[in-house]
Structure 1
Amino acid sequence: MSRKDFELKINTPISDILLDTKNPRIRDGSDQADCIARILRKEDHLKVLMEDIAKNGLTTAPILVKSQNNKYVVMDGNRRITALKLLNNPKLCPNTQLKNFVTDLKEKYAKNIINKVDVLSSTNDDAIAQEILSRHDGEQGGAGQVNWNAYLRTIFLMNNSHPAEYKRSAQYAMWAEEQGIWVDDEFPITALNRFLTQENIKELGFSIVDDKLKPNISIDKVKQIAQLLFNDFYTKAATTDTVRTPALASNYVKTVRIRAGLPGSVAEEQQKATSANNNTTVQNNQHATSQAPNQSNTSPANTNSTSTTSIPVTPNHQQTSQQPAPRPAPTPVLNSWDRNKLFGTKAPQIPIPSTETKVTDIVAEIRKLNVKDNPIAVAMLLRGLIELSDKFYRTQNTLTDIGKLGKNITASANHMHQNGKINASELDAIIRFSGVANVNDNLLHVESLQKIMHRETHNPNYQLVNTFWDNIAPFVRTCWRS
């Protein structure tokens, strides 16, 4: 890298600078509005940054760009440019609460907010990459550049055609995000790398074709597996210790397959398929034999003599005629998703006023149902509970009805967080499961619950329903505490 590889562009209008749709923090933005929404998944950090820029001005670290169609694409500085775009035009904010926050900043610090910046432009990809990778150290609570962990670093390297140590793991995570499964910036890609062997890749439902991952089973099942896996690591239900050895990793993959409604391994799946085919063949042969004319001894005596010999089955005989069942391998302790009742026996109560009879009736009905036997019924009742809870919260806090349940929940959750009623981690999970950020509605979230009754493809298993509730429960309880 050399300084001569970069050219300083003075007073470049913010409006001429585009966010990078493939930036590691954005990953796969569909347009500029989507890029802003994806940057705002870490809203607390960006609010700190916006306030710092409004008060103190932009840092001296130059923003790196590439020239493209008479505009510039940000190669490093997407958070700062996003902050400046919002400060210059609060209407770009995706929710009312954030818009009010930014508007207040703009009015208070109008003299400090700039609409033009100096940028360093280069056409040398290697020079840009080397400069970017050397910059990311020290986040200062969000005001400084936030460190790239191994996941973000790997995405940057792959998106810019550089060798990456955790390539296969990043391919899996990036595939999941393309399907609408949100993967946190802090996802421990090194842990994923521990068990993403070629064998386990197959168990997760993929083949490697032309050095890329390609699903080789039902796409819905592959998505369910991925959603469970990334949720486990996000909620710390699974950790590096969970997959510390090949044996532990194999056991963990087995549990995820089972939770997604598949046999524990591809071998078991193939064995079941073979057994089913053999049984069908035997049944067909027996049916053909029973329909064939009787060509030999037909007397009752001969018929009895050729029937199946009856052997007395005693306990001792049963033990010697069957192989003892192999002891199951130990599995990680991940039992929250495997409960029979949605709310669980130790779950905190939902503080619903007794005057809200319809909601209390819904809760009572959910408590009666075994979610393993009635996942669709529980999911439909749960959607009603969520919608009525959000409506109650918005009424109590005079929030505008946006019209779509997922967006209403996102706005309500942001209001809760701004008023100290939920923490940042709870907000993150609620927004992820609101469905607003999911581009594919085959996954289980608020928006896809409605489709369970209308589409044959939407058949949630009980583990996904339990997992969904665990993430959305803080929202429902907080609705009724207001």
Structure 2
Amino acid sequence: MSYRSIKLDALLVNRANDRHGELENETAAIAWLFNNFETHMRNLAKDLVASGQVFEPPLVFPEGDHFILFDGNRRMTCLKLLLQPRRAPTIELQEFFAEQRSKWKGDFPTTVQCQIEQDRDRIDDILFRRHTGSQGGVGQSTWDDRMKSNFINRTGRGNGFNAADEIEKRLAEAGMLPTKKMPRSNINRLLSGESFRNRVGFTGAGGKFEFTHDKPVVLRALRRIAQDFASRDYVLGDIWDIDGKRSYLDGLESEGVLPTAANSLASKPVAQDGEEQPAAKRPVPTKISRPQKRVSLIPNVNYSIAWAGRLHRHKAIWEELQFHLNLDDHANAISVLLRVLVELSVENYISQTKLATVSSNDTLARRVLRVTEDLKRAGKIDQKYFELLSKFPQNDVLLSADTLNRYVHSPNFAPSPDHLRALWDWLSDFLVHCLNAPVKAHGVILPEGAAR
């Protein structure tokens, strides 16, 4: 730990702050703070002007010529906007910060005393122990459940499930531990979320380790991961954000290291030692209960999407459709947002995979078809689902691009909640594949560490 005065313009507002999860860039992170804490941010700016100083040194991590803020993002955002009011996200806020700057007494600080930490694990330890009171926005703000979840999903800390412990135990039992010590914090960070664990072939749902794919295949994948990090071929910086984690696992997938759908245990019950058993009879329920009506378009289940920073708008739309909009009350708004989500998700797949078969003049229907063909070639979808998605360009099919377009442009084409539910159930797997698109260059998945 060291303390040093750092130029204000060398401090970067953290685009992956646990308050919001990964966003695209610093500008998006600043906008999020004001969209969600505008009153607090205004109070904080006024307090900084009144006091003329920052009472607690921000916690930062060096990255190149800059320093990423891990604690103190709100205070430094206010200082940055007091220095440059035009960076505020709205005209009203630009005027507010210009007015506050005029009230600053004495010289405005262009440097800030910061606490510099070179060890990211220590940064996470510090963050885990802070955020205990808001004081109307002047003090540190308490994390809500979603912010805590972002922290856990990023670091793997505090969720009651230690992936590294479970992996080390099973590799030891199989005699497959690497000769060098496993870096446990890196393993936990890589496999902090279910979407990444599922790709490797296990789950930690409910705090319990269970194989989801054939045990020998999963153990080989886990051994490779343990060796990669024990040998320091890969380090914490390689998997710090979602794109880094995904890129590393994409590289393993391209090498055939990760389990495939053919290894899935979903359709074959497995005994304790991994041997297949005859399917057990499903117990007959004692009471027949009526299924609960789905009130939102997206069911409240985990779709195992790795939300990278570039997907911040996709995620916001997804959460509105999953948690905030009721189908019976907001069918028109939902139909339009679904159309937007489909287009943004398809564009993400095309951009990430650099899909060469797509033309800039292609309609949404043709783009969906091209992505569907690519998913089929990559073995991500089966023939039956491919044939179903291939109907999307047909204008005479209710579940089609034409239907989505009419939701936006036709004054006489009213969406019904039941039809929207059916449309979602038809498209959901396709959209998840689009949002989880691997990084490719000219149709080839990039290995970890390659230029992107």
Shorter-chain TM-score: what band?
A: 0.3 to 0.5
Q: Which has the higher helix share?
A: 1
What's the TM-score, normalizing by structure 1? 0.39
